[in-house]
């Protein structure tokens, strides 16, 4: 009997010792799998924590199962992709270095046709950094920056000489910029960029499509600079109230078409500086909502060849401002007899054609003074500013020349395209339901009041 018990105990002990050994034998070795991979292989990586840095030198597809973590050492890049035709999907990538000089990143791509999708970047200086990685895709990622002062942060996404890149459906929070340098023919759509410096920043990058993005709570929502042939369509720009505080900033840009965007609650809705710069180029802004900003549209006085039509300028502290004193000339505030809707327009429509019979003019005396003395903005909308404007209207001698005039102002806001991030307008069914509920509430109130009166 003792021999039997001793034998069972010995066998159980050997089994317990063998189990960890078998687990170690079966553990997945990511670096070994990468070393053994052939071009075109797909490597499925199980859940776990894998040490970085990881350098990818073959055209492989890496698929994470159960959110495996590639953990950096806090120095340098976490992942470097040196081969073309690499796909990375389903990973957590964290803990890059903090050197701005060396541009430490969660992932640095150095070759074309790189796809990074459905991954999460945490505690990284730069998130995704592409250098001459043409024809790449950055889709469905979450990128969270290191907790540093904004001047010490890197860019959530940076493209450098990387053309024809799709940047789609990413969430970037707390980084410096999402920036495209010398990268033409890119599409940037359906992204959310928040709590950074410049939400989207384009430098020397032509032929861009920028659509359906949400840029919120940055210093600047979108800044377009030194580029041409840009389409800015149906983006939401809100809460961008930093030192610059532009919803959209435009500097030295040719052939910009901005349509269906919402600039709501920024310091400045749209800022235009020397755009277009080419005498043969234009800027067209149509069907945009510019609402509840401190300044709706701020323009450098020498700006020309801008056309604004079917836009809604709604309850901005100042609808149109000049960066310095003077007047705007050489721009068009309507097209084909259709101007813009101005919430402070006080004209009339005698013939009922939905076009105001007198021009909308921006000629507030106080606003003209603010262009020369910006410190006066502190008293804007105060009784003092209202009294000054009222006095100027009473004594036309003191009325300034109009800074701009819309000859064909709209009497009602035009229909605008939907954008992401805003509650859609109520449907007829919703309105009918609201009326029914209101009628029911009134009936209950009246019935209850009648009962109380009868009891008394």
How far is the C-alpha of 421 from the C-alpha of 410, rounded, in Å? 26
Residue 373 pLDDT > 70, yes or no?
A: no
How far is the C-alpha of 339 from the C-alpha of 263, rounded, in Å? 19
Q: What percent of the chain has pLDDT over 70?
A: 77
| Rounded mean pLDDT, 433-437 | 63
| Rounded mean pLDDT, 15-24 | 40
Residue 42 pLDDT > 50, yes or no?
A: yes
CA distances, 199 to each of 33, 196, 237, 243, 255 (Å): 38, 6, 9, 14, 21
How far is the C-alpha of 5 from the C-alpha of 12, rounded, in Å? 11
Cβ–Cβ under 8 Å, residues 68 and 46 = yes
How far is the C-alpha of 440 from the C-alpha of 447, rounded, in Å? 10
Q: What's residue 82's pLDDT? A: 98
Q: What's residue 16's pLDDT? A: 41
52: Cβ–Cβ under 8 A, 6 or more apart, which residues?
70, 71, 72, 73, 77, 78, 79, 95
Cβ–Cβ under 8 Å, residues 80 and 104 = no
Give φ, ψ of 252 to 5 degrees.
55, 50
Sheet holding 246-251, edge to edge: 54-56, 79-81, 105-109, 126-131, 157-160, 177-181, 198-203, 220-225, 246-251, 268-273, 295-299, 318-322
Per-residue confidence band for 15, with pLDDT thresholds at 50, 70 and 90: very low
Which region holds residue 359: left if phi is over 0, alpha if psi is between -120 and 50, else beta?
beta
Residue 381 pLDDT > 80, yes or no?
A: no
Tell me the pLDDT tens digit for each residue of 182-201.
Answer: 999 999 999 999 999 999 99
The H or E element spanning position 62 is strand 61-64
Q: What's residue 378's pLDDT? A: 56
Residue 301 pLDDT > 90, yes or no?
A: no
Per-residue confidence band for 22, with pLDDT thresholds at 50, 70 and 90: very low
Residue 59 pLDDT > 70, yes or no?
A: yes
Per-residue confidence band for 449, with pLDDT thresholds at 50, 70 and 90: low
Q: What's residue 380's pLDDT? A: 58
Per-residue confidence band for 403, with pLDDT thresholds at 50, 70 and 90: confident
Residue with the larger pLDDT of the pair 31 and 431: 31
Q: What's residue 326's pLDDT? A: 64
Q: 4: helix, coil or strand?
A: helix
Residue 53 pLDDT > 80, yes or no?
A: yes
**CA torsion angle 134 135 138 139 (round to 10):** 170
Q: What's residue 23's pLDDT? A: 40
Residue 365 pLDDT > 60, yes or no?
A: no
Strand spans (E) along 79-227: 79-81, 87-89, 92-94, 105-109, 115-117, 120-124, 126-131, 137-139, 142-145, 157-160, 166-168, 171-173, 177-181, 187-189, 192-194, 198-203, 208-211, 214-216, 220-225
**Cis, bond preceding 53 (omega within 30 deg of 0):** yes
CA proximity to 162, closest of 126, 129, 199, 120? 129
Give φ, ψ of 164 to 5 degrees.
55, 50
CA proximity to 97, closest of 117, 77, 116, 115? 77
Give φ, ψ of 269 to 5 degrees.
-65, -60
Residue 250 pLDDT > 90, yes or no?
A: yes
Lowest mean pLDDT among 298-312, 359-373, 378-392: 378-392
The mean predicted confidence, pLDDT, of the chain is 87
């Amino acid at each position: 009997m003792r021999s039997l018990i001793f034998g069972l105990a010995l066998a159980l002990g050997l089994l317990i010792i063998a189990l960890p050994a078998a687990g170690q034998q079966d553990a997945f070795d990511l670096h070994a799998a990468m070393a053994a991979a052939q071009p075109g292989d797909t490597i499925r990586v199980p859940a776990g924590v894998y040490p970085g840095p990881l350098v990818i030198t073959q055209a492989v597809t890496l698929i994470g199962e159960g959110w495996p973590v590639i953990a950096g050492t806090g120095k340098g890049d976490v992942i470097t992709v040196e081969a073309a035709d690499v796909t990375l999907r389903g990973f957590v990538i964290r803990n890059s270095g903090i050197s701005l000089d060396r541009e430490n990143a969660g992932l640095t791509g150095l070759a074309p046709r790189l796809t990074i999708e459905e991954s999460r970047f945490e505690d990284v200086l730069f998130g995704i950094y592409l250098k001459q990685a043409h024809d790449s895709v950055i889709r469905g990622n979450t990128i969270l920056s290191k907790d540093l002062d904004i001047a010490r942060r890197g860019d959530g996404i940076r493209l450098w000489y990387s053309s024809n890149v799709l940047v789609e459906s990413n969430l970037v929070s707390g980084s410096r910029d999402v920036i495209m340098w010398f990268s033409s023919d890119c599409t940037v759509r359906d992204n959310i960029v928040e709590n950074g410096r410049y939400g989207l920043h384009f430098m020397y990058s032509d032929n861009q499509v920028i659509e359906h993005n949400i840029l919120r709570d940055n210093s600047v929502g979108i800044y377009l600079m030194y580029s041409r042939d840009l389409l800015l369509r149906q983006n939401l720009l809100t809460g961008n109230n930093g030192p610059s505080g532009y919803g959209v900033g435009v500097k030295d840009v040719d052939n910009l078409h901005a349509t269906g965007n919402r600039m709501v609650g920024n310091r400045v809705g749209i800022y235009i500086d020397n755009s277009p710069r080419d005498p043969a180029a234009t800027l067209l802004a149509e069907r945009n909502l510019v609402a509840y900003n401190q300044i709706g549209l701020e323009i450098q006085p020498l700006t020309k060849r801008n056309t604004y039509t079917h836009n809604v300028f709604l309850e901005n502290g100042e609808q149109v401002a000049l960066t310095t004193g003077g007047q705007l000339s050489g721009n068009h505030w309507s097209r084909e007899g259709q101007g813009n809707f101005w919430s402070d327009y006080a004209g009339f429509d005698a013939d009922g054609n939905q076009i105001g019979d007198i021009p909308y003019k921006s000629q507030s005396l106080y606003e003209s003074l603010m262009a020369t003395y910006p410190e006066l903005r502190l008293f804007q909308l105060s009784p003092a500013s209202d009294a000054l404007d009222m006095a100027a209207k009473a004594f036309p001698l003191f009325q300034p020349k109009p800074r701009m005039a819309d000859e064909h102002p709209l009497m009602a806001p035009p229909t605008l395209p939907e954008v992401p991030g805003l509650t859609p307008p109520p449907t007829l069914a919703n309105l009918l339901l609201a009326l029914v509920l209101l009628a029911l509430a009134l009936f209950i109130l009246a019935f209850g009041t009648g009962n109380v009166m009868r009891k008394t």
